[in-house]
Amino acid sequence: MELLERFAAGDPDAFEALFRQHQREVYAWIVRIVRDSGAAEDLTVETFWRIYRARDRFDATGNFRAWARRIATNAALDHLKRVRPETELVDDFPSPPGGDPAIGSELRRHIKQAFLELPAKYRLVATLALIEEQPYNAIAEAAGISVGLVKVRIFRAVRMLRKKLNFLRAEVKAN
User: 150, 143 in Cβ contact below 8 A?
Assistant: yes
Nearer of residues 54 and 61 to other proteins, judged by Cβ: 54
Give the DSSP H/E element, type plus range, for residue 165: helix 147-174
93 binds other proteins (CB under 8 A): yes
Using the rule CB under 8 A, which residue among 35, 69, 79, 153 binds other proteins? Answer: 35
Q: Which residues contact 5 (CB under 8 A, 6 or more apart)?
A: 60
Using the rule CB under 8 A, which residue among 69, 115, 139, 143 binds other proteins? Answer: 115
112 binds other proteins (CB under 8 A): yes
Provide the mask over 10-29, with x wherever binding to other proteins is found by CB under 8 A and - wherever it is not: ------x--xx--xx--xx-
Using the rule CB under 8 A, which residue among 152, 156, 158, 164 binds other proteins? Answer: 158
DSSP E strand boundaries for the chain = none
Using the rule CB under 8 A, which residue among 13, 132, 146, 172 binds other proteins? Answer: 132
Using the rule CB under 8 A, which residue among 90, 133, 170, 173 binds other proteins? Answer: 133
DSSP E strand boundaries for 36-134 = none
φ, ψ of residue 91 to 5 degrees: the values are -95, 130
Residue 5 neighbours by CB distance under 10 Å: 13
Cα 98 from Cα 173, distance rounded (Å): 24
Cα 29 from Cα 9, distance rounded (Å): 27
Q: Which residues contact other proteins (rule: CB under 8 A)?
A: 16, 19-20, 23-24, 27-28, 31-32, 35, 37, 41, 44-45, 48-49, 52, 91, 93, 95-96, 99-100, 103, 107-109, 111-112, 115, 127, 130-133, 158, 161-162
